[in-house]
Amino acid sequence: MSQINPVTDLTLDGDVAVITLNSPPVNALSAAVRKGLFEAFKQADADGAAKAIVLVCEGRTFIAGADITEFGSAMADPQLADVQEVIEGASKPVIAAIHGTALGGGLEVALCAHYRVAVPSARLGLPEVNLGLLPGAGGTQRLPRVVGVENALSMMTSGRHVPAKEAASLGLVDELVEEGKLREQAIAFARKVVAEGRPLAKIRDQNEKLDAAKGKPEIFETFRKANARKFRGFLAPEYNIRCVEAAVNQPFEEGLATERKLFNELMSGPQSAAQRYAFFAERQAQKIPDVADDTPVIPVNKVGIIGAGTMGGGIAMNFANVGIPVVLIEVKQEALDRGLATIRKNYERTASRGGITADQVEERCGLITGALEMEALADVDLVIEAVFERMDIKKDIFTRLDAICKPGAILATNTSGLDIDEIAAVTKRPESVIGLHFFSPANVMKLLEIVRADHTSKEVIATSMKLAKKIGKVAVLVGVCPGFVGNRILGQRQREAQKLVMEGAMPWDIDRVLYDFGFPMGPFAMSDLAGLDIGWVKERSKGESIRDVLCEMDRRGQKTGAGYYDYDEARNAKPSPVTEQVIKDFIVKTGANPREVTDEEILERCIYPMINEGAKILEEGKAIRPSDIDVVWQNGYGWPVYRGGPMWYGDHVGLPKVLAKMQEFQAKMGDQFKPSPLLEKLVAEGKSFKDL
């Protein structure tokens, strides 16, 4: 055996050279990895005793891509393209042996091998689009040659990690091998290739699948149209599509040049910078300074959920999806039956779209049982209370949980803003109490705000963070304050949006500005979707707000065919003359002075107070770092990821500008705009949030 460098070994197993890469955590293509591969492949190719070469990785995964931490600075030699050239140009068969994930540059390396084998649990993909990029190491030219144009477009613009079995059916994997026997079976496969005299299959030379798409530009137009909504605002999907067009219309080398040019454009642009920031921000959020990685975790083998409404049911599905049994508590049988039926319906809908199998529907529904008595929670490891936002009810529930649940069980509340310390105080075990704030629909939304109360133990925090990852959520640890991080910042935007209407902007003006900024919808369209009557009580309504008046007119949102907007049968929204008149009447009634409100003011009034509130949250220690706030807003509130998040955006607009505007608004409109001392301090010191 010879060690090529600290991360690469080369051994001879009989007549097969085996190159082993070991560069934790994910074997990313750092300078050391590139150098190790380059040298190892050259040596193996020159070694007359080796008839084939197998590339295999140690640790949890095959190569998971380029080393993203190297982006933004010049890459040391050898370049990835040099490594790929020695692999593809080898004089003997090269076999990539894949486990874990072969992603981005990792898959692009594997695509230069002459054959690929994988264990069934492996996943393959080109996820660069999620970093605002495109595969820049030939992936855009090689993938369509293997899987065809349509499949390549779909894989590259979604970044999906394709399971090995599916990859095999697409031709991306030549043979599936047994789990745990990758190395030996890859070597056996290599011997078979040699024995059968199979060719050195170079993907670059395979054009049949591209020929099938030649002269059919409609393939691309149809794809663009079908995904227009999903891609809106993002540059990278369109650039990925253009590269596949180049694969079809240009010879291989020219296609590579097009890929390189478009890759460089994306890499140097602001969108990719924001998306790469988002990647690391999400991972950084998992690190809690005073909760060590090795903090013991509480095994969670059974979960109880109180409340079988939309929220409770959605939460339950998260656990059933990963095989954890759930007991769902309701007060009345009817409500319980309704909750369980909704869960089944949701799973069946997913199955009908091919997301899961009919067996999985049964399996998952079978994991969720119902009960009418809280005593059924005696043996659960975690309870999540998901009932009305009323402190008295929550306190009553937690008093009872304290008496019923076993010692050490985690007692969580899904409150979206109530004081969790007050809730914890009714128990004799405040160390076990935590907030787990899911977002609706809880089975879909990625964000989980984990709310640390004064006495929450480190074990409970560590367990909640790990559990969040297990159920596929993006978790952010926040502190107790009204609305926590997400809703507290949202409150600023909502207040300004309402005020702007009284100053002369129409709801659709405000929605348009925020939509164009990149949000999936503006606050008024959102209200119409959710229902204007959430929290509205008919008997007590006295026309004191525009919302009251609209609800009194039975304009309660999409469900009644009208709200701020008018809706047609297909639920398409149109600005409403009725709403406009209601607003005008209301302005007259309150004696407000409407004026022309510019789009620029709408944006600044809605967004800058959010940045300012984020600064206050940091000052109070309710979020650990600015990027955590951004992770909350990207994953729970539709902040366009290519604009980083409110704090990142603040840094990029320039904090002096944000501060100056807040001061201007404060002078005109009062202390709601009072700048946070942290914002003032950062500006005075010439710093930005990223310096914190």
Looking only at the bridges linking them, the beta strands covering 8-13 and 2-5 are: antiparallel
What per-residue string of b and e applies to 110-130 under the rule 16 or more CB within 10 Å gives b? Answer: bbbbbbbbbbeebbbbbbbbb
Q: Does 164 bind ligand 3H9 (CB under 6 A)?
A: no
User: Does residue 108 have an active-site annotation?
Assistant: yes
The full DSSP string for 498-565 is: HHHHHHT--HHHHHHHHHHHT-SS-HHHHHHHH-TTTT--GGG--S-SHHHHHHHTT--BGGGTBSSE
From the CB of residue 74, how many other CB atoms can be counted at a distance below 10 Å?
6
The binder of ligand 3H9 chosen from 19, 37, 117, 127 (CB under 6 A): 127
The SS3 of residue 21 is strand
Choice between 450 and 481, CB closer to ligand 3H9: 450
Helical (H) or strand (E) element with 466: helix 458-470
Q: Nearest CA to 97 among 160, 177, 25?
A: 177
- DSSP annotation of 70 reads G
CA 283 to chain centre: 11
Q: Does 33 bind ligand 3H9 (CB under 6 A)?
A: no
Choice between 256 and 602, CB closer to ligand 3H9: 256
Least CB distance to ligand 3H9 at residue 135 (A): 4
Sheet order of strands, 94-98 included: 2-5, 8-13, 16-21, 52-57, 94-98, 115-118, 175-176
The binder of ligand 3H9 chosen from 7, 131, 149, 306 (CB under 6 A): 131
Choice between 103 and 405, CB closer to ligand 3H9: 103
The binder of ligand 3H9 chosen from 135, 312, 370, 430 (CB under 6 A): 135
Least CB distance to ligand 3H9 at residue 25 (A): 4
Q: Does 93 bind ligand 3H9 (CB under 6 A)?
A: no
Choice between 68 and 597, CB closer to ligand 3H9: 68
Least CB distance to ligand 3H9 at residue 23 (A): 10
The binder of ligand 3H9 chosen from 9, 39, 67, 381 (CB under 6 A): 67
Least CB distance to ligand 3H9 at residue 470 (A): 11
Choice between 284 and 498, CB closer to ligand 3H9: 284
The tokens for 597 are 């409100």
In the region spanning residues 420 to 439, those forming contacts with ligand 3H9, defined by CB under 6 A, are none
Least CB distance to ligand 3H9 at residue 217 (A): 26
User: Does residue 362 have an active-site annotation?
Assistant: no
For CA atoms 311, 316, 317, 322, the dihedral sign is positive
Residue in 39, 88, 108, 604 annotated catalytic: 108
Choice between 260 and 458, CB closer to ligand 3H9: 260
Least CB distance to ligand 3H9 at residue 265 (A): 14
In the region spanning residues 97 to 116, those forming contacts with ligand 3H9, defined by CB under 6 A, are 101, 103-105, 108
Q: Does 137 bind ligand 3H9 (CB under 6 A)?
A: yes
Q: Does 124 bind ligand 3H9 (CB under 6 A)?
A: no
Choice between 123 and 488, CB closer to ligand 3H9: 123
Segment interacting with ligand 3H9 (CB under 6 A) among 133-141, 164-172, 190-198, 232-240:
133-141
Q: How many residues bind ligand 3H9 (CB under 6 A)?
A: 24
Q: Nearest CA to 347 among 302, 317, 327?
A: 317
Asked if 36 and 22 touch (Cβ cutoff 8 Å), the reply is no
CA 565 to chain centre: 30
Window 6-25: contact mask with ligand 3H9 (x via CB under 6 A): -------------------x
Residue 458 CB burial class (10 angstroms; 0-12, 13-18, ≥19) = middle
Placement of tokens 């590269």 in the chain: 243
From the CB of residue 365, how many other CB atoms can be counted at a distance below 10 Å?
17
Distance CA 259, CA 244 (A): 9
In the region spanning residues 185 to 204, those forming contacts with ligand 3H9, defined by CB under 6 A, are none
The binder of ligand 3H9 chosen from 26, 248, 305, 340 (CB under 6 A): 26
User: Which residues of 257-377 form beta strands (DSSP E)?
Assistant: 303-306, 326-329, 368-371
Alpha carbon distance, N-terminus to C-terminus of the chain? 47
From the CB of residue 9, how many other CB atoms can be counted at a distance below 10 Å?
18
Sheet order of strands, 101-103 included: 101-103, 123-125, 162-163
Q: Does 80 bind ligand 3H9 (CB under 6 A)?
A: yes
Looking only at the bridges linking them, the beta strands covering 94-98 and 115-118 are: parallel
Distance CA 371, CA 543 (A): 42
Placement of tokens 């929450």 in the chain: 456
Residue in 39, 128, 431, 496 annotated catalytic: 128
Segment interacting with ligand 3H9 (CB under 6 A) among 123-131, 329-337, 517-525, 577-585:
123-131
The binder of ligand 3H9 chosen from 4, 21, 28, 50 (CB under 6 A): 28
Q: Does 138 bind ligand 3H9 (CB under 6 A)?
A: no
The binder of ligand 3H9 chosen from 39, 128, 381, 511 (CB under 6 A): 128
Least CB distance to ligand 3H9 at residue 27 (A): 9
Distance CA 301, CA 322 (A): 11
Q: Does 307 bind ligand 3H9 (CB under 6 A)?
A: no
The binder of ligand 3H9 chosen from 8, 40, 65, 628 (CB under 6 A): 65
CA 18 to chain centre: 37
In the region spanning residues 251 to 290, those forming contacts with ligand 3H9, defined by CB under 6 A, are 283
Distance CA 486, CA 473 (A): 15
Least CB distance to ligand 3H9 at residue 476 (A): 15
Choice between 105 and 314, CB closer to ligand 3H9: 105
Window 379-398: contact mask with ligand 3H9 (x via CB under 6 A): --------------------
Distance CA 106, CA 33 (A): 11
Least CB distance to ligand 3H9 at residue 267 (A): 9
The binder of ligand 3H9 chosen from 36, 93, 132, 136 (CB under 6 A): 136
Q: Does 87 bind ligand 3H9 (CB under 6 A)?
A: no
The tokens for 683 are 């500006």
Q: Does 628 bind ligand 3H9 (CB under 6 A)?
A: no
Q: Does 144 bind ligand 3H9 (CB under 6 A)?
A: no
Backbone angles phi, psi at 670, to 5 degrees: 110, -175
User: Which residues form the catalytic set?
Assistant: 108, 128
Q: Which residues lie near ligand 3H9 (CB under 6 A)?
A: 25-26, 28, 61, 64-69, 80, 101, 103-105, 108, 127-128, 131, 135-137, 139, 283
